[in-house]
Structures are given as structure tokens and as C-alpha cells.
Amino acid sequence: MAALRYRDEHNKVGYLQKPTGRDDYHQILDFLRASHIRYALTNDPIIFDSLVKQFWSMATLRSPELGFPAILATIDETPYTITEDSVRSQLQLADDGGIDDLPIAEIYSGMDNLGYVTEGKLTFYKNKFSPQWRFLVHTILHCLSTKSGSWDQFGSSLAVALICLSDGRKFNWSSYIFKGMVSNIGNAKKFLMYPRFLQTILGIETSFTRQYHVFKLSSKLFANMKLNFEGQPMQLLAAMLPQDQEGEGAGVAAQAVPPPIPEPIPEPMPEPDQPQDHLSTPPRQQTSDPIAPVFEHGQSSDPNIASFSRVHETDDDPFTSTNVEDEPLGGSFHASPPRSTQAPPAGHTSGGAEDLITLTEVHFLETELQAHKKLFMIDSTKNRSRKSTAIGGPT
């Protein structure tokens, strides 16, 4: 048997980035990015060449009497099993119970709704679609289909998939992919099918670490989609467009927005020559203030403490920016001014304003204290002279 080969244009990685200057493709890209096939289109795993080659060279079908249909294969002397459910789960398709087929008459009418003239045939051609639809067909053919060639045409199975995508119904992609793998086993033109999906479904490495790199769709295809097309472009159907969020839903959302909290009026800062009464004010109870600012772990409302915390956080974390203002979180909330780091003067009490000693009184007390010291020194000198006279005088 001839060596199995890859097909470069098969099972490619989708391109869903919005191109600059190609606004007419944005709707179809939004649709695909929100669809249930997005993961299957864009998942790009590391593919082990040995895994793909061993699987398809060893793949067999499980006997029907042993259970549900399954593909069996041995990779690095370890047996593996693939079922339709494993395809659905690992490719995140969520299409259980989806549509597998449609009556011929419904296929014709469905394609007519897409702007495609069927002409009574079940073979369809990509270049007969308008650009936006042509991009969708092109992406499905190269990323999801079982095809390995003849990229300009497709059959009824993909037509059913296209119809389901357009009208909001769910096509059973898991069944389509699994049945394609089953048919590949006994096909005379067997090839290394679905390398990207196979790696994702099995999720294993192999002893031979050589990798296979799948091709990717590029942004260049947007320009090519408009070539060889004549006629009126077909717009996307209503089921493919995002639902309108205005009306009642917007009204409910507006009611759910809480009213803004009024900002408290900041307390005036004391003049430098006035006694700082606010230092003796008892601290506020944080639990009783409904708009008290909430700080993250390691932060403080005191700018000095907050600055100290940020310095140490910067030393520990090299990714923390040093150009951060030393102000508490919340911005508009009032924070107490920084406390003085100097010790209060002697005699400073924590009572009310009537108990505070003014600077003039402090100066008066210091003057009296110095006078008392001088008197004390004079009295001490006289007492010492009297004692010395008494001791050294006549008996």
C-alpha cells in the first residue's frame, strides 16, 4: 500500500480576524466568532506527525455487536478509541441531536434563500455565491469538511450544514466528522484525514516528537472572494445577525444602574498657626460609614503608610509601576490629612479646645520656669555658704 499523505488544503485553521478596509465582511466574521463551530475552526494544537500516521495506518472499526460505532487504533502500543461523542466533546461542538440531513425539496428552497440558483442539482459551486457567503463556504470546506480536493464544489451534506447555519438550526457536525473518518478507513483514496481534529480528540504526545504544521487561512482571501462574481450581494439572514438589545431590555438595564453616591464635602485644612483640633478627634467607625473607602490588602488611608507599602511592594514585584500617586483608592472620598511625626509639646492633652495650651501660655510658663530656676540657684548658693561658715567658724 502506498504511503498515506497529508492534504495541505484540508483541515486548515480558520481566519476570523476582522480585516482593515473590508467592513463588508465584518458581519460574517461576527457570526462565526459567536457560533458553536468557532473552536473547531480556530483550534491550533501542536500536532505530532507520528500520532496521525500511526492512527490511520492502524485504524479499524469496532464490531457492531460490541457496542456503539467506534474507531480503534494503537499508538505507541497503547490502544485508543474514538466515538461520535468524543468528537463532540473534544471539539466543543455541542450539537447533540442536531440535524443530519434534509429532504431534497427543503435543500433546494434553503439554498434559494441564500441567493443561490440551484437549477435542480445537488452539486453546488462556491463561486456562485456573493462574497460574504463565499467566504463562509470557503471556510467550511477547508476547515471542517472531509474533502481533500475539488475545492470549488460541494455536495448535499455541506449544503444542509450551510442552511442550518443560516436559519438558526444546529447541524450535527460531530456525526458528519465521525462518519467521514469511518469512510476514510476503507476508502481506496485513504489519506491522513483531520490531523488537527485527531490531535485535539486524542490529546496525547508520541515517542517521536516530530511535528506536523497545518496550513492556515489568511487575510488575503477576502480580496479573492469578490473575484468572478457578478450580481447583487446577498445579505446575511436575520437568524445570523446579533439580536437587538434595545427596548425593554435596555430599560431594565438602565433601572439596574444604582444612582451615583454624592461626594462628601471635604473638611477645611487648619491654618499652620492654629491649634490642630482634628488630631484629638476620635477615629471614625468604619462599619457605620456607608461610603467609607475600601482599600486593598496592604494599603492605608494614611499617605505616609501607603507610600511605605508601595515602596516595599515595588521591591518585591518588579512588574509594579513606581509612578503611582500616593493617594487612597476611591479618589473623591475624603481622607484625613497626614499626621505629624513630631512628638506633641509637654502638657499637651487630648481633651477639648478649652483644655489646650496656646503657644503664648507655653512661652509664659517657660519664662516663669527659668525665673524659678534662677531663684532656686541663688537660694542654693546662700544655703551652701551658710553651711560652710557654720562648719569652719569659731566653736
Q: In this structure, are residues 84 and 172 in contact, taking their beta carbons and an 8 Å threshold?
A: no
Report how far residue 279's alpha carbon sits from residue 340's, in angstroms, rounded to the nearest whole number.
Answer: 9
Per-residue pLDDT band at 19 (split at 50, 70, 90): confident
Per-residue pLDDT band at 243 (split at 50, 70, 90): confident
Per-residue pLDDT band at 388 (split at 50, 70, 90): low
DSSP string, 71-106: EEEEETTEEEEE-HHHHHHHTT---TT-B----HHH
pLDDT digits (tens, 9 = 90+) for 208-242: 999 999 999 999 888 888 777 777 889 999 999 98
Q: What is the pLDDT of residue 273?
A: 45
Q: What is the pLDDT of residue 108?
A: 96
CB count within 10 Å of CB 208 equals: 13
Residue 357 or residue 92, greater confidence: 92
Residue 92 or residue 356, greater confidence: 92
Q: In this structure, are residues 35 and 169 in contact, taking their beta carbons and an 8 Å threshold?
A: no
The H-assigned helical ranges of 36-150 are: 38-42, 49-58, 84-90, 104-113, 131-143
Phi, psi of 261 (to 5 degrees): -80, 125
For the chain, what are the domain ranges? 23-241
pLDDT digits (tens, 9 = 90+) for 96-125: 999 999 999 999 999 999 999 888 899 999
CB count within 10 Å of CB 312 equals: 10
Per-residue pLDDT band at 244 (split at 50, 70, 90): low
Length of the chain: 395
In whole angstroms, what separates CA 219 from the centre of its chain?
24
Give the pTM. Answer: 0.62
Q: What is the pLDDT of residue 343?
A: 47
- Give percent of the chain with pLDDT exceeding 90: 52
Cell digits of residue 254 = 438602565
Residue 119 or residue 172, greater confidence: 172
Phi, psi of 81 (to 5 degrees): -130, 135
The answer, yes or no, to whether residue 363 has pLDDT greater than 60, is no
Diameter of the chain measured on Cα atoms:
154
Average pLDDT along the chain = 75
The answer, yes or no, to whether residue 259 has pLDDT greater than 50, is no
